[in-house]
Amino acid sequence: MTGRVTATRSPYPADEPVPARGSSAEEPTPPPASSAEESAMRRAVELAATALGRTSPNPVVGCVVLGADGTPVGEGFHRGAGRPHAEVEALAAAGDRARGGTAVVTLEPCSHQGRTGPCTEALLRAGIARVVYAVPDPDPTAAGGARRLRDAGVEVTGGVLRAEAERGNELWLTAVRRGRPCVTWKFGGTLDGRAAAPDGTSRWITGPESRQDAHTLRAAHDAVLVGSGTLRTDDPHLGLRHGVAGAPPLRVVLDRDGTIARHARVLDDTAPTLVVTGPHTPGPTLPGRHEVLRVPVTEGALDLAALLEHLWGRGVRSVLLEGGARLAASCVAQGLLDRVVAYVAPVVLGAPARPVLGDFGAGTLLAGLRLRLGEVTRLGDDVRLLLRTQDLPAGATAAAAGSRTGPDPERAESRTAEGGGA
């Protein structure tokens, strides 16, 4: 049920869709992207980022339309499931000026019918002569747009500024490739890896710049997850503060024994909360719009893979794990961790202080989880590290990897402290 996912690598380049059965892999070589098209792609990436945290189960997508003379005539971005896609918004802004022009889009245009029509057909009706995209769509439900456009005589170039566009859509792309929500572990700690002093105090290890950035990070995720130890010790609210705007994420708390207090801050009316408990735990009875989810208990801990499967089914594509140490260790041990965002303060507390991570069974150096450093950012006196686990090969999908969750079912409708449940 759990464990690391592996995948077979496609024989085709990662930025090209696999040829349809009966078609030839030989295609005329399109011209490379021009400087104007690259500038338009950077703008499209910026547009896509404005909708982070608001589009699930769909990706964030931005699009810029260039007229026949190469100047921008329209732009748009996808604002949420069931709403117009980025290409449709940009084409509407461009009007007749799109005819004979170029559509520059961060994700391969979709070719399927969902709650809205295929973007490929909208591009063809508008008379677009050339399409430049950054990232091939890894979802088999919606992929194939590049092939459809080429077959209709449109010139198509893929892979333009792919790395930049992948970073902007990282949470969704990772989720589709894994076949489960992308899981990011966020923590604030000392230079020697401590989350609290021996007396339990932890406010504040990191500075105000880090705390504000952490709320921006929270706003970009669909759900935020904490264990029961964090729930008891910190009574977190898990909402958005420090001037960060946006829809608050779904609050998910592990409560194996059904001990959550009715006055817990996560049970206020500012956002929905999902309380995860065991299959035979009495109660709890929750006020308002909050829900109870029952999952299996394995070796004394709630089944995290079952929780992620449930979240995937309700459209959650990204989960921010905020505590605690044993919950994070459980995710590491089960291969469910994709990214780490660490806010490191220039403070040392020593061995008796509480560590940021619990025991996950790494008895040797080789058994440890070695991460790839992505970004280093200074925030006041603190340092923010973004690290990643080893990803699936670019373009690989969970279906190819044998995931039980498989391709994104929603896109058939629309492109549309303490752990493991202790």
Residues identified as active-site = 87
What is the distance between the alpha carbons of residues 238 and 227, in angstroms, rounded to a whole number? 12
Q: How far apart are CA 304 and CA 336, in angstroms?
A: 8
Determine the straight-line distance between the first and last CA of the chain, rounded to whole angstroms: 20
Q: Would you give the distance in Å from CA 382 to the centre of its chain?
A: 25
| CA distance linking residue 257 with residue 298, whole number of Å | 14
Q: Would you tell me how many other CB atoms lie within 10 Å of the CB of residue 84?
A: 18
Instruction: Give the H or E element holding residue 207.
Output: none
User: 293-300: long-range contacts at Cβ-Cβ below 8 A with a sequence spacing of 24 or more?
Assistant: 297/256, 297/421, 300/420, 300/421, 300/422
Q: What single string gives the DSSP state of each residue in 137-177?
A: ---TTT--HHHHHHHTT-EEE--TTHHHHHHHTHHHHHHHH
The answer to whether residues 76 and 53 touch, using CB atoms and an 8 Å cutoff, is no
